[in-house]
């Protein structure tokens, strides 16, 4: 079964093509800067242990033109891996927000599309791109089964005491004001990998997804019981451009004292805060360079970033009543040794003790970085949201 996985953002599209049940993709790609005259497409084909890369810069004004270019690459004589788009049996879509309505992977129908559209107000930065990806894929792959995999679905197992806010009850029942959580596809994937590695299905695991967006989840016996992102992806950990958890009164203060509008405050907290607001850089690699050069703001930002994660670890150990493994994943979690070192320092009460030599090693495989004396495993597990989406599509159609 050929499953084409699309992860469409507002100005980008990530994709992978799987020939299931094989878990290695036969091609993958990234389209960046959609809507600009210098859009970039990087297309990789994997064959006989080799990787062939096609890279091009060209104007791609919208998602339809971007995905049309992908179809050309997939079918182009000489480098194509299929002859006709009809060979794609399933298209799996990442959809960020599924609200309470979607707690499982779902075949996309006109009714499902309409409900996804209604949820745009809850994820205005993500769901519009996800929705566009669905509409374009329906045109380009008309014979394929279109399936939605929701980032929020994994967190729907949280108990009510964890997902409710202490606001008037009618705001929950009438407007859906509650904790939804995000990055669920990633948290689910690495939590399952960790439980399998530990050979302990009932394991108590904390998964930490650190990229430009950051979240942490408490997982017990494969079920999420709490997570840091809330009603939107703004809450919780400090992120690349998002503030993370903040006193709600700051919003009122900025409106009354600084004269900022709701829209301006939204932009401030979502796009101009976090590491960007603290250091001037949203990319942790740039922040680390500044820190290494002696920049005091960058040094403080790293301390704040790690300390916020530590506080969540402590609260989630309490929620789980124990801990078998701490898992780092995503771009920063997998590649930033300094972040991992700072997060795991002074955490011996929880059995966490990092081995600095193991932590400094680079690998694309699942690995332990805890010391031999540690009583709790510290794991780095590369995430693969696209593979998880493909697997969920297969399970749904089985």
**Residues tagged active-site:** 151
Binding residue per annotation — 332? yes
Binding residue per annotation — 212? yes
Binding residue per annotation — 7? yes
- Measuring CA to CA, which residue among 146, 102, 147, 145 is closest to residue 123? 102
Binding residue per annotation — 335? yes
Residue 236 to residue 223: CA distance in whole angstroms: 20
Q: Tell me how far CA of residue 362 lies from CA of 241, 326, 335, 344, 382, in angstroms.
A: 26, 18, 7, 18, 12
| CA torsion, ordered 25, 136, 31, 88, to nearest 10 deg | 20
Binding residue per annotation — 384? no
Binding residue per annotation — 158? no
Residue 198 to residue 325: CA distance in whole angstroms: 9
- Cis check: omega of the bond before 107, within 30 degrees of 0: no
Binding residue per annotation — 284? yes
- Across the beta sheet with 214-220, the strand order is 223-227, 214-220, 204-210, 325-329, 377-380, 367-368
Binding residue per annotation — 213? yes
Please say whether the beta carbons of 95 and 132 come within 8 A: no
Binding residue per annotation — 211? yes
Binding residue per annotation — 333? yes
Q: DSSP H helical segments within 199-248, as ranges?
A: none
Binding residue per annotation — 90? no
Feature table: binding site for Mg(2+): 7, 385
Feature table: binding site: 7, 14, 94, 209-213, 283-285, 331-335, 385
Feature table: binding site for ATP: 14, 209-213, 283-285, 331-335
């Amino acid at each position: 079964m050929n499953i084409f996985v699309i992860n469409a953002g507002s100005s980008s599209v990530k994709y992978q093509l799987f020939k299931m049940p094989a878990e290695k993709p036969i091609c993958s790609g990234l389209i960046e800067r959609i809507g600009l005259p210098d859009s970039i497409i990087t297309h990789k084909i994997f064959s006989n242990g080799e990787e062939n890369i096609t890279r091009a810069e060209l104007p791609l004004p919208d998602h339809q033109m971007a995905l049309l270019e992908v179809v050309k690459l997939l079918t182009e004589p000489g480098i194509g891996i299929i002859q006709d788009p009809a060979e794609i049996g399933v298209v799996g879509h990442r959809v960020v927000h599924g609200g309470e309505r979607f707690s499982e992977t779902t075949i996309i129908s006109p009714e499902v599309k309409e409900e996804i559209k209604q949820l745009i107000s809850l994820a205005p930065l993500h769901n519009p791109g996800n929705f566009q990806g669905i509409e374009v894929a329906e045109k380009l792959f008309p014979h394929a089964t279109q399936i939605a995999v929701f980032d929020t679905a994994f967190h729907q197992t949280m108990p009510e005491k964890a997902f409710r806010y202490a606001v008037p009850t009618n705001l929950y029942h009438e407007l859906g004001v509650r904790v939804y959580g995000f990055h669920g596809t990633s948290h689910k994937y690495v939590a399952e990998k960790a439980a399998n590695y530990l050979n302990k299905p009932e394991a108590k695991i904390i998964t930490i997804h650190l990229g430009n967006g950051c979240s942490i989840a408490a997982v017990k016996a494969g079920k999420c019981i709490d997570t840091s992102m809330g009603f939107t992806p703004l809450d919780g950990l400090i992120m690349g451009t998002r503030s993370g958890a903040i006193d709600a009164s700051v919003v009122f203060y900025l409106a009354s004292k600084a004269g900022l509008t709701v829209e301006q405050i939204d932009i401030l907290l979502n796009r101009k805060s976090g590491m960007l607001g603290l250091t001037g850089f949203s990319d942790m690699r740039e922040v680390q360079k500044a820190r290494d050069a002696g920049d005091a703001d960058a040094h403080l930002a790293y301390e704040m970033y790690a300390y916020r994660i530590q506080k969540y670890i402590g609260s989630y150990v309490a929620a789980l009543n124990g801990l078998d493994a701490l898992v780092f994943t995503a771009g920063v979690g997998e590649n930033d040794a300094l972040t991992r070192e700072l997060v795991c320092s002074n955490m011996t009460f929880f059995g966490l003790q990092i081995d600095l030599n193991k932590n400094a090693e680079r690998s694309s495989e699942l690995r332990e970085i805890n010391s031999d004396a540690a009583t709790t495993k510290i794991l780095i597990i590369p995430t693969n949201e696209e593979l998880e989406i493909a697997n969920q599509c297969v399970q749904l159609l089985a």
